[in-house]
Chains A and B, each alone.
Chain A
Amino acid sequence: GENVEQHPSTLSVQEGDSAVIKCTYSDSASNYFPWYKQELGKRPQLIIDIRSNVGEKKDQRIAVTLNKTAKHFSLHITETQPEDSAVYFCAETMDSSYKLIFGSGTRLLVRP
């Protein structure tokens, strides 16, 4: 799969609210979906990932859900804090592939 669409491009939420970012992919063979966070001026870093054999994965305030039928996956951040402000990238790849293709990114702003 070499096409992943990410929405929205920007997202502004009040501190304490939830934020949801959605990505869609085109190739049904894709089976690994990571999310990366990039703070201003820094390098992207992995925050959570999911494989296609599970529908949801949680890690404290962040979770990722996967809908294989609809070919989309989402990042959920609950109880947002100002330090969650960053650009978030989804990505996808598949077995036998070394390529990791990223979405266009979502700039999240958490207002205090």
Chain B
Amino acid sequence: NAGVTQTPKFQVLKTGQSMTLQCAQDMNHNSMYWYRQDPGMGLRLIYYSASEGTTDKGEVPNGYNVSRLNKREFSLRLESAAPSQTSVYFCASKKIQNTGELFFGEGSRLTVL
């Protein structure tokens, strides 16, 4: 099992460009998440999907869109990238509501110039 797989691992964008971060999990988990990690600010929740067919905003959703393509895949899209979106992005998944371990991908480092 690969667990949670994110692509790309590194990306450099110019301000105003768009891109999509892809995430897939092979653990048959119901819930999937996108976090961003910035120095001194921990892990902040961008969007999450409690189950296939649903998505909800987290703490910092502005500037992002998501798609829960199927049970395995959850993508994060930046329509018009801004320097403030320079960050490390982590996708994660877990099997059940509230409790249970959150499994993270390896992260995607995005730089917006």
Q: Which of B41, B45, B105, B107 contacts A100 (CB 8 A)?
A: B45
What count of chain B residues pass the 8 Å CB interface test?
A: 24
Which stretch, B20-28, B69-77, B96-104, touches the partner chain A? B96-104
**Among A43, A95, A101, residue most surrounded by chain B Cβ atoms (within 10 Å):** A43
What count of chain A residues pass the 8 Å CB interface test?
A: 28
Question: A32-75 CB contact bits vs B (8 Å, 1 = yes)?
Answer: 10101000001111100101000000000000000000000000
Q: Are B90 and A99 interface neighbours, CB within 8 A? A: no
- With A43-B107, A102-B43, A104-B41 given, is the CB distance from A32 to B59 under 8 Å? no
Cα A9 to Cα B49 with chains together (Å): 30
Interface residues of B (CB under 8 A from A): 31, 33, 35, 40-45, 48, 50, 56, 58-59, 90, 97-99, 101-102, 104-107
- Interface pairs A-B: 5 shortest CB-CB: A43-B104, A104-B42, A102-B43, A98-B50, A46-B101
Enumerate 12 A-B pairs (CB-CB under 8 Å) in ascending A order: A2-B59, A31-B98, A32-B98, A43-B90, A43-B105, A43-B106, A99-B45, A100-B33, A100-B45, A102-B43, A102-B44, A104-B42
